Structure 1
Amino acid sequence: MRRLVLVCLAVALGLPASAGAATTGRLLVSLRATPSGHATAATAASAVAARAGAVPAGRIVTQVGMVTVRPRAGQTLRALAARLRRDPAVRAVDAEHRATPRLVPDDPVFSTPDPAAAGQTLAWWAVRENFPAAWDRADGDSVTVAVIDQGVEISHPDLAGKIRAAVDFDSDPGHGPATEDEAGHGTHVASLACAQPGNGIGLAGAGFDCGLLVEKSDLTNSSVVRAIVDATDRGASVISMSFGTDDRSRAPQAMIDAVSYAYDRGAVLVAAAADKRTTEQGFPANILQPTGTGPDIAAGKGLSVTAADFTDEAASFAGDGSQISIAAYGAFSRPGADGVLGAFTAGPNEIELGASGKPCNCRTTLAGDARYAFLAGTSMATPIVAGAAALVRDANPDLGPADVMQVLKRTARRPGGGGWTDGLGWGIVDAGAAVQGALRLDRRPPTSSVLAPSTTSGRSLVLRVTATDTAAPGVRVAGVRSVRVYRSRNGGAAHLVTTTTSRRLRVRVPSRGRYAFYTQAVDRAGNLEPAPQSPDARTRVATV
């Protein structure tokens, strides 16, 4: 796997320096309020930069009010950050860091064949995580998975038909477009998420027929923020991020805002935990599952994924602790073991050439095709969980991000029983159980209406109430529990008359006037029909 060798710049911004922090020499500025309209927002951001004597160094992300700047020649980041923080239009200033892909350490134990694995199929991880059972119920074709990485070689036969869009946010000179992968990491990750099944070539991705949105990034904070926002705006249901920082630096406000932006708009975010034994997973993982929240099944805005090995233990290289949400297979366990098979680039890439200092010796031939490799790491576990999330969303499109996350956690397989653990979080993902769990969750509200006579001269009238509860195909319908009936008189406020389970209801009309009737149903799963904006029926009471 690729390990980027980056020189850590000693930059003091009011935060302690970290030996593992790789900074870019730029600052992320989060504005207090983003004016509506891109042009207006850009003007406001330019004004902030001008007041501080900063040089704009990246596009503004108007959705979260972020602008990237750098100091002018002869200025220091420390002084620039201080000036920016004094500006009343600025909400936060953060040093920008560059993440590294979530990789296994460059040890030969993770790059040589394991004779003890003889007899196991190359799809052992998919079988043991119960993906075939999930594929029987959900094929993922309605879901787009965004892979934020260093590019994807979309000409690979396992990926060529799966690309729904490819966007380039990599500003590093010499790098090709989003459809090229110089590192080899993104192609492998994308294949584990959504490789084409049933084509007689290579492998089937965890998300089976899911589509891919390639977001190429240079892994700088600003690039990642732009990619998260862009993936959200393009309708990605799941966002997979197999990278992260390896230090205790505070996550930049702009990235926190981008995560919230995606979560609030329905995206399930999945990020790799650290690729070393540590309780600090770095960001974005620690944004999705902050310190201390892992044991709370309802906490977090995404899933922080660690790696399990073939023995169902936490992989020796993988992060653990209270920032861990869930695990998936990312390695074997014994010296000389392979990792997980996935697609690889046609030509040599940075991983196998040893850009980190040591060649990986990971390329392999599958059915005569040398465009595959065995790689191990939390990087590999992450797209597997992302694929499982895609199947859950495909099975039940009414589920929100919190529902999907909780289904995956509740149904995860916990070796030895019990609940959440430091090593595996809520357990090893079980795709089949997760899809079954999703099909038992009715999140679609019922609908109702009421009929009433147009006129009456009595002191009461009979209403005919109807209510229906539906769900996505295959989802178990909870059924209508009751209907709330409201009444207003002469255009006044509506008041609750009764809550009923009857289809025929007699109500009093104590005085003459014009009455309007409304209904609102609730089902046995607790889903409440949206409040009606207009009455279902109107009655004129002539005399009483």
Structure 2
Amino acid sequence: MPRRLPFLLLLGLLVCAPSAQATSPTGRLVVRLADSGAHSKTHAAALVARAGGRLASGRVPALGLVTVRPARGGSLTELETGLRRVPGVLRIEREHRGAPRALPNDPALGSQEPAAGAPQDTPLQWWASRQNLPAAWDVRQTHRATVAIIDTGVDASHPELAARIVGGDDNDPTPGAGPESVDEEGHGTHVASLACATPNNGIGIAGAAYGCRLLVYKSDFSDASIAESIVEATDAGADAINMSFGTTAGEVAPQAVRDAVEYAHDRGVILVAAAADEPTDGQGYPADLLQPTGTGADPAKGLGLSVTAANFVDRRASFAGFGSQISMAAYGAWNTGSGGPRGLLGAFPAADVALERAVGGARPCNCRTVVGGDRRFAYVQGTSMAAPMVTGVAAMVRRLNPDLSADEVIAVLKQTARREPGSGWAPDLGWGILDAGAAVAAARTLDRRAPATKLRVSKRRGRTLNLRIVGVDRAPSGVQRSGIASYEVYRRIDGGKATRIARTERRRVRLRLSTGRRYTFWSVATDVAGNRERSPKRPDVTLKTR
């Protein structure tokens, strides 16, 4: 449902969340033993005892597995280190406990869609599970991502949004317009709820980004207002910025908006814009800034994501933009030509708004509805409704793995989008329909953080020096560490040139020293993903020989 404005047109519109529980460590180790040890409980207990541990309740002889806990007063780390020295121990893993998957209690997730033409067992919020949001929400490190919405403001008193708003600004100079906490149009409230509606509150819907923090920037969609809002949202810490508005095709973006887009992109913010709300291959800006003409088929090209709308049967909605400026799609309408709801269900202001009135020749939306006795909801369709769901997932990916660049997050969402097996980019839906679970799963495997090591003197006798490398591969919580692949040891003698004296997969290095010298040593590690530790500012070991 576009808002009619001079020069700019508004463009066009989950679900299993985790409970408060999350995957947690059990304080035990799962150990793979050589077969002879695994089949004998007595023998297995003896092996484990040598490392200062004791058998726990879990044992799977067919796989050679035993579960081990530290002896009283011992630590898991010490036990793990000890077991690595015991012959017959093949593998050691820290044990974790999962949690049952659970849906939030928002009624739209389970209540039947009442519109004629909706199949049985189609929930009001049917697009949630179709976009695999439950799998993303089960990863607690995606929670509390920060999403910025540049739009017509929001009804900040709405129970779906009140607890989510953490900041924003009024960048709409229109005389008589209220602050960012007031939405006279209805558009901004609906868009914001699809990204960030409060989950598990027993009311209405759940937004795409589970428990996200919401920044609201009210705009009249003039170039200066857009630029100001993008920069303010970036400086306020937005993980992703949603722009469900745009110009008519062919309008050339001014340098002010270009500069603001580049400002956000260069600082790692994911920019998302709605494609055109008409079947055209020209999306107007900001969408065509984020995915310029001819670049859609290249997952490495673009400054953000230009999002078109898919319908209930996984085709491009009849009203939505297409072509080489399209990055990907998300659901934005039922739009099958055979009944169904009038759009996607979302939050709506309590007061009557412009979308409900015949303003500037536009027809009233006839979109307000009641959910659980509450009339502050509406069905609205458009690319405007598709974009905020992509924005919410982009923000969750950024929250999960902050080491990824903006370009890497963009590529993850494109490459994991759902499409026909073996196919690639296509003009109608770009790289395909949003798959939140697949995007989060892919981001968890991308280790971009370098290891950290230090050298320690383990033994020194005469002119023989034994050095021990203490190292750990690092990654954000929830991201898989690739593991250290190799270590390098460097030496400097009497302040001279640094020389690499060893490259090894082992953690111990033995050296011969000369008399009357001053030595400094340090280590640098590289992990399997190729991340290389920076050389330390100060050496790890300094010593003099006589």
| TM-score band w.r.t. shorter chain | 0.7 to 0.9
Aligned to 1:102: 11
Report SS of the residue matched to 1:424: coil
CA deviation vs aligned residue, 1:46-79 (integer Å, no higher than 9, x gap): xxxxxxxxxxxxxxxxxxxxxxxxxxxxxxxxxx
Q: How does 1:262-277 map to 2 (within 5 A)?
A: 262-277=264-279
Tell me how far apart the structure 2 counterparts of residues 279 and 465 of structure 1 sit (CA, whole Å). Answer: 58
Aligned to 1:379: 384
Q: How does 1:359-398 map to 2 (within 5 A)?
A: 359-398=364-403
Aligned to 2:306: 304
**Taking structure 1 as reference, are residues 294 and 2 closer, same or farther at Cα in structure 2, changes over 3 Å only?**
closer
Aligned to 2:3: 3
> Is the contact made by 1:467 and 1:483 (CA closer than 8 Å) also made in structure 2?
no
Select 1:164's aligned residue among 163, 166, 170: 166
Q: How does 1:365-514 map to 2 (within 5 A)?
A: 365-415=370-420, 417-452=422-457, 458=463, 461-507=465-511, 509=513, 512-514=516-518
Tell me how far apart the structure 2 counterparts of residues 353 and 417 of structure 1 sit (CA, whole Å). Answer: 47
Aligned to 2:61: none
> Is the contact made by 1:2 and 1:354 (CA closer than 8 Å) also made in structure 2?
no
Tell me how far apart the structure 2 counterparts of residues 319 and 511 of structure 1 sit (CA, whole Å). Answer: 76
Tell me how far apart the structure 2 counterparts of residues 419 and 538 of structure 1 sit (CA, whole Å). Answer: 56
Report SS of the residue matched to 2:138: helix
CA deviation vs aligned residue, 1:409-434 (integer Å, no higher than 9, x gap): 22211046411111111110111122
Aligned to 1:115: 116
Aligned to 2:103: none
Deviation of the 1:188 alpha carbon: 0.2
Look up the equivalent residue of 2:4 and give its one-letter code. Answer: L
> Is the contact made by 2:459 and 2:465 (CA closer than 8 Å) also made in structure 1?
no
Deviation of the 1:132 alpha carbon: 1.7
**Taking structure 1 as reference, are residues 416 and 469 closer, same or farther at Cα in structure 2, changes over 3 Å only?**
closer
Tell me how far apart the structure 2 counterparts of residues 249 and 448 of structure 1 sit (CA, whole Å). Answer: 54
Tell me how far apart the structure 2 counterparts of residues 278 and 509 of structure 1 sit (CA, whole Å). Answer: 74
Select 1:147's aligned residue among 146, 149, 171: 149
CA deviation vs aligned residue, 1:366-394 (integer Å, no higher than 9, x gap): 11111111111110000011111222233
> Is the contact made by 1:456 and 1:540 (CA closer than 8 Å) also made in structure 2?
no
Report SS of the residue matched to 2:160: coil
**Taking structure 1 as reference, are residues 287 and 513 closer, same or farther at Cα in structure 2, changes over 3 Å only?**
farther
CA deviation vs aligned residue, 1:114-173 (integer Å, no higher than 9, x gap): 521243211111111111222122374331100111111110111111101131111111
**Taking structure 1 as reference, are residues 453 and 139 closer, same or farther at Cα in structure 2, changes over 3 Å only?**
closer
Aligned to 1:14: none
Look up the equivalent residue of 2:476 and give its one-letter code. Answer: A
Tell me how far apart the structure 1 counterparts of residues 343 and 422 of structure 2 sit (CA, whole Å). Answer: 26
Aligned to 1:74: none
CA deviation vs aligned residue, 1:272-316 (integer Å, no higher than 9, x gap): 111122222222112222222221112222111111111101111
Tell me how far apart the structure 2 counterparts of residues 255 and 489 of structure 1 sit (CA, whole Å). Answer: 55
**Taking structure 1 as reference, are residues 195 and 418 closer, same or farther at Cα in structure 2, changes over 3 Å only?**
same
Report SS of the residue matched to 1:158: coil
Deviation of the 1:455 alpha carbon: 8.5
Look up the equivalent residue of 2:286 and give its one-letter code. Answer: P
**Taking structure 1 as reference, are residues 330 and 356 closer, same or farther at Cα in structure 2, changes over 3 Å only?**
farther
Look up the equivalent residue of 2:190 and give its one-letter code. Answer: H
Tell me how far apart the structure 1 counterparts of residues 119 and 367 of structure 2 sit (CA, whole Å). Answer: 17
Deviation of the 1:365 alpha carbon: 1.2
Look up the equivalent residue of 2:355 and give its one-letter code. Answer: I
1:321 maps to 2:329: no
Tell me how far apart the structure 1 counterparts of residues 241 and 512 of structure 2 sit (CA, whole Å). Answer: 55
Aligned to 1:254: 256
Aligned to 1:179: 181
Deviation of the 1:495 alpha carbon: 3.1
Aligned to 1:345: 349
Aligned to 1:134: 136
> Is the contact made by 1:3 and 1:356 (CA closer than 8 Å) also made in structure 2?
no
Q: Name structure 2 gaps, 5 residues minimum.
A: 14-113
Look up the equivalent residue of 1:103 and give its one-letter code. Answer: G
**Taking structure 1 as reference, are residues 271 and 372 closer, same or farther at Cα in structure 2, changes over 3 Å only?**
same
Look up the equivalent residue of 2:3 and give its one-letter code. Answer: R
Look up the equivalent residue of 1:499 and give its one-letter code. Answer: R
Tell me how far apart the structure 2 counterparts of residues 497 and 355 of structure 1 sit (CA, whole Å). Answer: 77
Aligned to 2:17: none
Percent identity over the alignment is 52
Deviation of the 1:362 alpha carbon: 1.2
Deviation of the 1:187 alpha carbon: 0.1
CA deviation vs aligned residue, 1:64-121 (integer Å, no higher than 9, x gap): xxxxxxxxxxxxxxxxxxxxxxxxxxxxxxxxxxx321139xxxxxxxx952124321
**Taking structure 1 as reference, are residues 2 and 324 closer, same or farther at Cα in structure 2, changes over 3 Å only?**
closer
Look up the equivalent residue of 1:241 and give its one-letter code. Answer: M
> Is the contact made by 1:247 and 1:280 (CA closer than 8 Å) also made in structure 2?
yes
> Is the contact made by 1:141 and 1:211 (CA closer than 8 Å) also made in structure 2?
no
CA deviation vs aligned residue, 1:420-471 (integer Å, no higher than 9, x gap): 111111110111122222222222221111124899863x633221211132
Deviation of the 1:202 alpha carbon: 0.8
CA deviation vs aligned residue, 1:318-363 (integer Å, no higher than 9, x gap): 1112221111000122335421110111111111113242111111
**Taking structure 1 as reference, are residues 497 and 334 closer, same or farther at Cα in structure 2, changes over 3 Å only?**
same
Deviation of the 1:508 alpha carbon: 5.2
Deviation of the 1:509 alpha carbon: 4.9
Tell me how far apart the structure 1 counterparts of residues 447 and 512 of structure 2 sit (CA, whole Å). Answer: 35
Look up the equivalent residue of 2:383 and give its one-letter code. Answer: T
Q: Which 10-residue stretch deviates more, 295-304 or 237-246?
A: 295-304
**Taking structure 1 as reference, are residues 227 and 485 closer, same or farther at Cα in structure 2, changes over 3 Å only?**
same
Q: Please give the root-mean-square deviation of Cα atoms over the aligned residues, in Å.
A: 2.1
Tell me how far apart the structure 2 counterparts of residues 522 and 289 of structure 1 sit (CA, whole Å). Answer: 35
Report SS of the residue matched to 1:382: helix
**Taking structure 1 as reference, are residues 531 and 239 closer, same or farther at Cα in structure 2, changes over 3 Å only?**
farther
**Taking structure 1 as reference, are residues 252 and 494 closer, same or farther at Cα in structure 2, changes over 3 Å only?**
farther
Deviation of the 1:510 alpha carbon: 6.2
> Is the contact made by 1:3 and 1:103 (CA closer than 8 Å) also made in structure 2?
no
**Taking structure 1 as reference, are residues 253 and 531 closer, same or farther at Cα in structure 2, changes over 3 Å only?**
farther
> Is the contact made by 1:207 and 1:388 (CA closer than 8 Å) also made in structure 2?
yes
Tell me how far apart the structure 2 counterparts of residues 255 and 503 of structure 1 sit (CA, whole Å). Answer: 52
> Is the contact made by 2:307 and 2:387 (CA closer than 8 Å) also made in structure 1?
yes
Tell me how far apart the structure 2 counterparts of residues 416 and 487 of structure 1 sit (CA, whole Å). Answer: 53
Tell me how far apart the structure 2 counterparts of residues 220 and 172 of structure 1 sit (CA, whole Å). Answer: 11
> Is the contact made by 1:138 and 1:391 (CA closer than 8 Å) also made in structure 2?
no
